């Protein structure tokens, strides 16, 4: 990986007149901003359709795109919508926060009109898209069945045949719900059409896209429903144990994610084909893939299903280097980043070293203790990615404001922070000047925003994934300022 830098900015955080960021005008303008700021990378969060809680790490599909991100103005240009059909809809009153309830209520109504106009018109192109994406049928049927069963998770569906994905029931519901199946499949055609155009524009401007692959998939997903053999489920397809992490920096009771765990023995017998297909799908979206919770490949925290916290769990061995090598050898054209945060053991460190993948260094973690931390830049090797903070951290400004006196004194002395430059700007300078091959800052850090702009607070299920950037905030003046420091440190 060449020496470079980029900005972490979720798609949903882009400004738009329709309540949530999309793949339309603001996304293209953000790429222009990145290019003007001399950045090489746009890092985003997972772009899959979100379920309860709106977390991009709990998606209905590991392959599908989020229909919320389909840009309505682009559908007008494509002849699929009329402006009058959605200008009077309520998308939310706060330009700095997503109102997911209103988006859910109104977006699908509008997209249904686009489907009714476009499905027959785009039949040939849609069929070609479907032929190239084997996951599409299961996903579209899953969403149609969810709607039929009042949006309940598949484990609660009243019809046991379709709940257990029995072939006869699958055929029955494909016919019974054909219109909805076609609708949800067509939305993926629209999403990927817009995504491919945006990615091509990014490439023209020498901007690569970094995206996350969460280590686990949601229980409420087409992935688990259609392929239960890959997961640790009982005879009724109910999870035996679920995923999480033990108590840590973020939470005293740990984080109980609730995702079903993989049947690693079965996956190994199949040559990790499920993971190969998953990374192949992610490669259609991203240029660099960040493997979320990489340490789970070495060993993972298993919590008995039904526990209210993640405290009562146990460590179990993961697939280790065998899986990582399978993926890196299968996809030599894709670069990977290992999200090696959390509780690190010698075994996890050895796995990272043996894999050859760059790990992560987070500046907000560097100054909390008396002893020198491996997150301090003078301890870096080139093969790593330095972050001001991740989507799970608060913004730089909020961190510096909330830090205790000792921590603040350490970072001030180490980085030479001063009021003239700005404390947050000084931490960005620290990361930019480090030897790390790649440096990433959150957009909120460049904007100097406080705690209200935090993306996610781990262990808390409410008021996350909401922040939106104000229109015009990514200004030419800011791009020039970022470009100056980027060029200074030869990124």
- Quote the pLDDT of residue 462: 85
Is residue 444, in this structure, part of any structural domain at all?
no
CB 14 within 8 A of CB 30: yes
User: Which two structure tokens, joined as six digits, stand for 68?
Assistant: 């919320």
- In terms of DSSP H, where are the helices of 133-231? 136-148, 160-163, 167-176, 178-204, 222-226
User: Which two structure tokens, joined as six digits, stand for 282?
Assistant: 């992610």
Q: How far is CA 452 from CA 49, 151, 469, in A?
A: 24, 31, 12
Query: Which residues, in sequence order, are bridge partners of residue 212?
Result: 290
Is residue 136, in this structure, part of any structural domain at all?
no
Provide the 3-class DSSP secondary structure of residue 232.
coil
Is residue 260, in this structure, part of any structural domain at all?
yes
User: Which two structure tokens, joined as six digits, stand for 124?
Assistant: 């040939």
pLDDT tens column, 241-275: 999 999 877 688 888 999 999 999 999 999 999 99
Provide the 3-class DSSP secondary structure of residue 92.
coil
204 vs 198: CA distance, rounded Å: 10
Q: Is the pLDDT score of 2 beyond 80? A: yes
278 vs 215: CA distance, rounded Å: 11
Residue 461 binned pLDDT confidence (cut-offs 50, 70, 90)? confident
Is residue 114, in this structure, part of any structural domain at all?
no
The pLDDT mean for the chain works out to: 96
- Quote the pLDDT of residue 252: 85
Mean pLDDT computed over 19-43: 98
* Total number of domains in the chain: 1
116 vs 137: CA distance, rounded Å: 19
CB 235 within 8 A of CB 298: no
Share of the chain above pLDDT 70, in %: 100
Of 184, 199, 187, the closest CA to residue 11 belongs to 199
Q: Show Cβ contacts of residue 154 under 8 Å, excluding neighbours closer than 6 positions.
A: 142, 145, 146, 163, 220, 224, 225
pLDDT tens column, 196-251: 999 999 999 999 999 999 999 999 999 999 999 999 999 889 999 999 999 877 68
292 vs 258: CA distance, rounded Å: 16
Is residue 286, in this structure, part of any structural domain at all?
yes
- Quote the pLDDT of residue 371: 77
Of 148, 136, 141, 134, the closest CA to residue 190 belongs to 136
Is residue 284, in this structure, part of any structural domain at all?
yes
DSSP state of 205: T
Is residue 313, in this structure, part of any structural domain at all?
yes
- Quote the pLDDT of residue 400: 95
CB 202 within 8 A of CB 31: yes
Q: Show Cβ contacts of residue 413 under 8 Å, excluding neighbours closer than 6 positions.
A: none
* pTM beyond cutoff 0.75: yes
Residue count (the chain)? 491
Which structural domain, as residue segments, surrounds residue 273?
A: 227-356
Query: Which residues, in sequence order, are bridge partners of residue 42?
Result: 7, 209
Active-site residues, by number, are 292, 339, 392
189 vs 202: CA distance, rounded Å: 20
pLDDT tens column, 156-182: 999 999 999 999 999 999 999 999 999
């Amino acid at each position: 990986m060449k020496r470079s830098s980029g900005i972490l900015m979720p798609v949903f955080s882009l400004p738009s007149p329709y309540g949530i960021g999309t793949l339309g005008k603001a996304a293209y303008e953000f790429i222009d901003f990145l290019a003007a700021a001399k950045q090489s990378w746009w890092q985003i969060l997972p772009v899959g359709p979100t379920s309860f809680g709106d977390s991009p790490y709990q998606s209905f599909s590991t392959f599908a795109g989020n229909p919320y991100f389909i840009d309505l103005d682009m559908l007008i240009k494509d002849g699929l919508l009329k402006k009058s059909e959605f200008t009077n809809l309520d998308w939310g009153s706060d330009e700095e926060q997503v109102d997911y309830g209103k988006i859910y209520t109104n977006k699908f109504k509008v997209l249904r009109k686009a489907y009714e106009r476009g499905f027959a018109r785009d039949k040939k192109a849609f069929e070609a898209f479907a032929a190239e994406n084997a996951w599409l049928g299961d996903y579209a049927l899953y969403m149609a069945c969810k709607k039929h069963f009042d949006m309940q998770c598949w484990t609660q569906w009243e019809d046991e045949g379709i709940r257990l994905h029995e072939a006869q029931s699958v055929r029955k519901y494909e016919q019974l719900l054909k219109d909805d199946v076609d609708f949800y499949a067509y939305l993926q055609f629209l999403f990927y059409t817009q995504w491919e155009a945006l990615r091509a524009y990014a490439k023209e401007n020498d901007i690569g896209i970094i995206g996350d692959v969460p280590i686990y998939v949601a229980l409420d997903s087409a992935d688990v429903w259609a392929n239960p053999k890959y997961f640790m489920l009982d005879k009724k397809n109910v999870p035996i144990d679920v995923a999480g992490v033990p108590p840590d920096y973020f939470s005293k009771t740990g984080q109980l994610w609730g995702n079903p765990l993989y049947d690693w023995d079965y996956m190994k017998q199949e040559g990790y084909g499920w993971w190969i297909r998953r990374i192949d799908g992610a490669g259609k979206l991203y240029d660099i893939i960040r493997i979320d919770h990489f340490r789970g490949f070495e060993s993972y925290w298993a919590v008995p299903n039904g526990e209210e916290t993640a405290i009562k769990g146990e460590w179990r061995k993961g697939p280790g280097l065998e899986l990582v090598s399978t993926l890196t050898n299968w996809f030599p054209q894709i670069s990977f980043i290992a999200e090696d945060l959390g509780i690190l053991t010698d075994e996890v460190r050895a796995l990272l070293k043996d894999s050859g993948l760059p790990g992560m260094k987070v500046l907000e973690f560097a100054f909390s203790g008396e002893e020198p931390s491996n997150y301090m830049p003078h301890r870096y090797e080139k093969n790593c990615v330095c972050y001001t903070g991740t989507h799970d951290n608060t913004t730089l400004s909020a961190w510096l404001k909330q830090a205790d006196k000792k921590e603040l004194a350490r970072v001030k002395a180490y980085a030479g922070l001063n009021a003239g430059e700005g404390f947050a700007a000084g931490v960005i300078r620290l990361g930019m000047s480090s030897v790390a091959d790649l440096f990433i800052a959150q957009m909120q850090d460049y904007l100097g925003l406080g705690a209200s702009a935090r993306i996610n607070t781990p262990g808390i299920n409410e008021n996350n994934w909401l922040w939106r950037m104000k229109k015009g905030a990514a200004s030419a003046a800011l791009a020039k300022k970022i470009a100056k420091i980027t060029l200074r440190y030869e990124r």
